[in-house]
Structures are given as structure tokens and as C-alpha cells.
Structure 1
Amino acid sequence: MNELPNVSSQSMSIKGKLQNRNKGLPKAVTGFLYLLPSILLFSVFLFYPMIRTLYLSFFLTDGQGVPVAFVGFENFTYLLQSTSFQNSLKATILFVFYTVPAGVILALFLSLIANEKVRGIGFFRTMFSSTMGMSVAASSVIWMFMYNPAIGILNKVISMIGFSEVQWLLDPKYALVSVAISTIWMNTGFSFLILLGGLQNIDEHLYENAEIAGVSYFYKLRKITIPMLSPTLFFIITVSLINSFQTFGQIDILTKGGPVESTNVIVYSIYKDAFINYNVGSASAQATILFFCILAMTILQFKLGERKVHYQ
């Protein structure tokens, strides 16, 4: 007789667990249905192309990109020994070095100026962010005319100063720097808007207390602005780094990888191998190498850079 209450209580607990599972199941199904459109889009446009690219990197392919023969790591070995790929890797690293630090510093400087409370500052905020509304193609055409050795305004200005004219896009010494300058100009609008939003979210009481203490502007910049803006700066640096590795449009319009492959970055080299030389296996191997380079740089940045980020 004493064991019956225990049996009944155990059966009640089992029934309760089954009911909880039945209640939780529709919620899981509902959550999956909400995620299903995103999962389908990511699968079609991200996961499948990544897996397909990795698969093709181990094969020799025909002109239509169909695998013909399995070669293992031969494509990667050939690329690492290729002088052309080494030049592309060097051009990519130099391009990242030229664009990311200069672009972030310029956007930070403009955002600090535009954050000042003076009359008419809204006009300058609009001008500083205006490059965000222009396409890469339109911006590249503008810079192509500015760099033109015959009618370009840049050569006219340096001629007025007394310097000799420069073949901006035709000289291997200046071509990569010229493309980097145009890229910095194109990306400044986005970085400026994000940094300006971060500056306007900083608590004004911090600056009021600093003014009462009588500290200088640069002290406030170093001790208040930069630490409080560090999450936004970390985001901008990460996004700029990834975008600089993936630059294609301005290279294609301005230089097409020349002269003498001085601007033949990895992304443009992938395009040439895949759609001009029809060597999809080599292009896939280069895309795989580029993916792991970006992944390594991003992980390294999160490991080292995030230590200096202050979220409060």
C-alpha cells in the first residue's frame, strides 16, 4: 500500500515530462520555420559555392569548369611556386596596407570634425558621407578621368606647382597607390557614418566632467573618445580589412591588373583564371587560399585587437 503513491507520483512526473516535450516541440519547429528562408539563401548562395569551390580546387577542369582529373594538392603546389601568384599575393598585401590604415584614420578624423556642434555642420556631414551613395563603377570612371595623363586634373595641378607629369595608371610604381587612393575615397563615406554614429552615442557627461577638471582636448581624445569608440573602431577595421582583400571593381575598370601585373590582386587573378583563361581548378585553389588568408587575419584580429576594446 505504501508503494502505490510512489508509483503514481512517478507516472505523473513522466506524464509531465512528455507534456513539456510536446509543448517544446512546436516552438522548435516554429523557430526552424522562421530560420528556413535564411538557411535556404545561405545554402544556395554561400555554403554550396564554398563547398563546390573547395571541391574543384583538387581537380583539373575543362573549359566549362567540369572536373576532368583529380590532382589533389597539385593546384596549390603550382600556385605557391608560381611567380605570378606570388606577385598577386604581394600586390594584395600592399593594397591592404595602403588602404586600411589610411582609410580608418581619414574617416576617424572627418568624424571627429563633423561631431563638433557648429553652425552648418550638417552640410559637411552630407559631403563627407556622399561617397557612400556612389557605385564602384561610377567612382572608378571619375578617378579614371582624373588620372588621365592628357586631360586629368591631377597632372594639371602638379604641373602648375612645378612637378613633372605622372603616368598614374600606366607606371608600375604608381598604379597600385593610385588605385588605393581611389579605394580610400570610395570607402570613406561608410566608415565616416559608422564612426560618427559611435561618437554621438558617447555619454556627454564624460566630456562635461573632463571640462570641469580642465583637461585638454587631446587628453579627452585619448582617455575618453578612443576607449569609448573602440567597439566601433574594431568593427570598421575588421570590415575594411575584409573588403580590401575582396577588391575587384576598381581594379577591373582602372588597370585590369596591369601594368606588368603590379595591380593584379588575388581576386582579379581569380577572375582572369576562371573567366578568361578558363582554368577553373586554379581559380578555385586561389579562392580557397584567399578564404583561409582572410579567415586567419580575422581570427588574429579578434585574438589581438579585441583585447583593447572597451564595451562599457
Structure 2
Amino acid sequence: MNAPLSVKSSPSVPVRRKRAVWTTLEGIVYLLPSLILFSIFLFYPMLKTVYLSFYATDHQGNPVQFVGIENFVYLLKDVNFLQSIKATLLFVCYTVPASVVLALCLALMANEKLKGIGLFRTFFSSTMGMSVAASSVIWMFMYNPSIGVINKVLSLFGISDVQWLLDPKIALISVSISTIWMNIGFTFLILLGGLQNIDPTLYESARIAGVSYWYQLRKVTLPLLSPTLFFVTTVSLIHSFQTFGQIDILTKGGPMDATNVIVYSIYKDAFINYNFGSASAQAVLLFFAILVVTFLQFKFGERKVHYQ
């Protein structure tokens, strides 16, 4: 006669709840260092900025009088702030598409199986290892109207000296060119990694079928690279809205506020004019602008992304 099989009884509901609580607490303990750092350096400054945007402040940044949305109303009527919005939007339009397209072209070239191509990959990604300050100083000397190498080259073709950083009509374009050069290394490296993750058998099948390189690019490479393109476009867009270092070193917002982007306007209001209430209001508006742009990009741009 066979012995009866023993059946393990499942843990009771209170025991399962107790285990779930302990598991949650254990996870919180592991996350606690990160939560503390985020709270100190991200959440608290963000909440303090929103709080100060509703107040008039003294020179030390202490709230003096509650003014409600008066700071925001004043900014939307301020000519200087509207000029900052225009400069920021133009800067984004100048830098983001050019950076992504140029980095894509360089990545396509560097992805070819050619002898010595590793040297070119190093050259193309070298700007990633340079700080914004060092890069800006290099471009400041290159743009110098008297000793700059750019004007020296133009003089060989009979073109007179150009005031790259002193002419309001071209100052923003000049800063944008230097920014494209600074950002292209990171974008190139990410896109090259995306290209190298594409299954090479797809290209072999395309070559056997006798399709052209441009057909492969449109039907194979770009669709499979679309998640990486979407990522670098989103990151570049957010980063361009927050540009500060090269503006401060090259033009300091001038000439005639032609390069006074919103982030630099926030810096001037807070640390030069000591108007922390207005600066906080500008920061809040910039945050919501980036949030809306990023949402729209995910809403409409992600539809053309092929994840498989």
C-alpha cells in the first residue's frame, strides 16, 4: 500500500504580507543612498526654485514678499526675456539637427570595414574627451578677429576679417558651430555603437539581392538605427536647451543679447542682478518648456521608431 503524498501548504496571507513588507524595506535600504543624493541635489533645489518663483527676494535669495504669479507675468511681457526665448529656439534649431546629421554621416563612414578606420573613429570621437571650458577657449582663439586661424584662412581668399563673436547677426551662429563641434563626439560614438549592433547578415542578404547602398540605408540601416537616433535626438535637444558654458566664455550673452539664451539669462538674474525670484520663475518656465518638447517628441517622434 502506497504511503499518502504529503502536500505542502502555501504560506498564509499574513505571512506573505510580512515577507512583502520586508522585501520592500530591504529594497528601500539599498536605494537609500541614491534617494538621499537625489533629494539633496535634485528634489530639494527643484522645490525651492518653484517656491522662490512666487516671491520677491533680497540680495541673499531669501523670500521677502509673496507676489504670486507676478514674476511670470512680468517675464512674459519683458522684451529681454522674449529675446532670450528667441535666441534659445534659434540655438536649438542650429545645433540639434546639424549635430545629429553630421554625427550620422561620420558614423556611417567609420562603420565601414576599411584598413586604418580605427584611427578615424578616434579622431571623430575625440571631442568627447574635452571639457566645455577647454573647447570654448580653443574656439575663442580661432574666432579672434586679428590672430584667429579662421580669419587667416579667409584672408587667403581675399575675404576681410569677420567679427565672429562681436557681430549680433552671426554671433549666435558662431557659438552654434562651436557647440556642434563639441557635441559631435558623443553623438557619433552612440550612433556608431547602434550601427555595430545591426545584424550583418541583413546586409549580406541585401547584397545578394543586388540592392544599392542607398536602398540599404533607407530600408535597413535607418529603420534599425531609429531607436538610437531617437535617443541621441532627445538627449541633444534637452542638452541644447541647457547650454551655458560656451555662452559664458565666448560671448557672455552678447552682443546686444544676441546669444543671451534662457539659461544664461537665469544666471545673470540670479548671480549678477541678485533677482532670485525672477531667475526662479525663468527656471520653472524652462523646465516646463523642456517637459512639453520632450513629451511632444515622444508622442509624435516615437511613432517612427522601430524597436525590432
| Shared fold (TM-score, shorter chain, > 0.5) | yes
For residues 1-312 of structure 1, the aligned pairs below 5 Å read: 16-312=12-308
Note the aligned Cα RMSD (angstroms).
1.2
Q: Distance in 2 between matches of 1:174 and 1:301?
A: 29
Q: 1:107 deviation in Å?
A: 0.4
The residue type paired with residue 207 of structure 1 is Y
Percent identity between the two aligned chains = 72
Q: Which runs of 4+ in 1 moved over 4 A?
A: none
Q: 1:103 aligns to what SS in structure 2?
A: helix
Q: Distance in 1 between matches of 2:133 and 2:295?
A: 31
Q: 1:19 deviation in Å?
A: 1.5
Q: 1:33 deviation in Å?
A: 0.8
Structure with higher helix content = 1
Q: 1:36 deviation in Å?
A: 1.1
Q: 1:149 aligns to what SS in structure 2?
A: coil
Q: 1:22 deviation in Å?
A: 2.0
Q: Distance in 2 between matches of 1:101 and 1:108?
A: 11
Q: Distance in 2 between matches of 1:97 and 1:23?
A: 53
TM-score (norm. length: structure 1): 0.95
List alignment gaps of at least 5 residues for structure 1. 1-12
The 1:22/1:189 distance shift into structure 2, 3 A limit, reads same
Superposed CA offset, 1:224-279 (max 9, x none)? 00000000000000000000000000000000000000000000000000000000
Q: Distance in 2 between matches of 1:113 and 1:162?
A: 34
TM-score (norm. length: structure 2): 0.96
The residue type paired with residue 187 of structure 2 is S
Q: 1:90 deviation in Å?
A: 0.2
List alignment gaps of at least 5 residues for structure 2. 1-8
Q: 2:170 aligns to what SS in structure 1?
A: helix
The residue type paired with residue 55 of structure 1 is Y
Partner of 1:9: none
The 1:23/1:57 distance shift into structure 2, 3 A limit, reads same
Partner of 2:5: none
Q: 1:14 deviation in Å?
A: 10
Contact 2:125-2:185 within 8 A present in 1 as well: yes
Superposed CA offset, 1:29-77 (max 9, x none)? 1111111111111111111111100000000000000000000010000
Superposed CA offset, 1:271-299 (max 9, x none)? 00000000000000000000000000000
Q: 1:65 aligns to what SS in structure 2?
A: coil
The residue type paired with residue 53 of structure 1 is T
Q: Distance in 2 between matches of 1:278 and 1:162?
A: 47
Contact 2:146-2:161 within 8 A present in 1 as well: no
Q: 1:173 aligns to what SS in structure 2?
A: coil
Q: 1:310 aligns to what SS in structure 2?
A: coil
Q: Distance in 1 between matches of 2:48 and 2:240?
A: 24
Q: 2:65 aligns to what SS in structure 1?
A: strand
Superposed CA offset, 1:93-146 (max 9, x none)? 000000000000000000000000000000000000000000000000000000
Contact 2:167-2:255 within 8 A present in 1 as well: yes
Q: 1:19 aligns to what SS in structure 2?
A: helix
Superposed CA offset, 1:129-164 (max 9, x none)? 000000000000000000000000000111111222
Partner of 2:3: none
Tell me how many residue pairs correspond in the alignment.
301
Q: 2:56 aligns to what SS in structure 1?
A: strand
Q: 1:60 aligns to what SS in structure 2?
A: strand
The residue type paired with residue 26 of structure 1 is W
Q: 1:215 aligns to what SS in structure 2?
A: coil
Q: 1:180 deviation in Å?
A: 0.3
Q: 1:15 deviation in Å?
A: 6.8
Q: 1:211 deviation in Å?
A: 0.3
